[in-house]
Amino acid sequence: MRALVPAPADPVNVHDHYAAGWLTSGGIRANFVASVDGAASTAGRSRGLQTRGDNLVFAALRDLADVVLVGAGTARAEGYRAANLSRARQEVRRSYGLAPTLPIAVVSRLALLDPGSELFRTPDPATRTIVITCATADATAQRALDPVADVVLCGKETVDLAEVRSTLVARGLTRILCEGGPTFFADLLRSGEVDELCLSITPLLAGPGPGRITAGHSWPGDPAPLNLVGLLEQDGTLFGRYEITRRS
């Protein structure tokens, strides 16, 4: 893998590349993969677009995060599990000054998640999954999740995304890695809560049908401008790192 931005370099330390300007400031960083023609998935999942380099970047971004933030739909579709990291991964995290554990935070307006799924199976209390919902979420569902997750209310009738961010920061989770999905990412962008986008562009044409990395209602006003601050390449796959100008 070689760096094209900010300066050509071959090879490059992927962890150092994504750590620069991130570890001290933190924020919300989104990670997505897409085909050259803009598809965010094939057969309903992102796995068909992943490459060896994309998997490397995916792991590095997790190694540099305090928490993974994901929408409930993506957690179900992609079969999310609690992040029980290997000893080697824990040591990498320690070398960058991060805790050895990585909790998952799932956003669900209705809190309708399966408490028996792999997402809630972890022997370490520090990796206990966080379920972020709102006051009008199903009360029975919340009670079912209480024994296996930290259920947090952010908002009344819908999840307040600014409150989600402040709640995670209050827990000391300042480096937030959002892994989608497209509707949740678009909502975060609309609310002005995303600071950075890491986008892998796979050299494939997925063809008509699959959606993009953003979904849902159209945005008011102009498109959100991006500032390219890093670009890697491996086997034809491009890995862009973009700063996002907040929309709010």
Asked if residues 26 and 175 have their Cβ atoms less than 8 Å apart, the reply is: yes
| Whether the Cβ atoms of residue 66 and residue 175 lie closer than 8 Å to each other | yes
The pLDDT, as a whole number, for residue 46 is 67
- Span 47-89, pLDDT tens digits: 677 788 899 999 999 999 999 999 999 999 889 999 989 999 9
What is the pLDDT at residue 43?
67
What is 1-66+193-248's CATH superfamily? Dihydrofolate Reductase, subunit A (3.40.430.10)
Q: pLDDT tens, 125-158? A: 889 999 999 999 999 999 999 999 999 999 999 9
pLDDT digits (tens, 9 = 90+) for 160-214: 999 999 999 999 999 999 998 899 999 999 999 999 999 999 988 888 877 889 9
Task: Give kind and range of the element (H or E) at residue 167.
Answer: helix 161-170
Pick the CATH number of 68-173 from 3.40.50.2020, 3.40.50.11290, 3.40.50.150, 3.40.430.10: 3.40.430.10
Tokens 């044409």 map to which residue? 205
pLDDT at residue 11 is higher than 90: no
- pLDDT for 98: 97
Question: CATH 3.40.430.10 residue ranges in the chain?
Answer: 1-66+193-248, 68-173
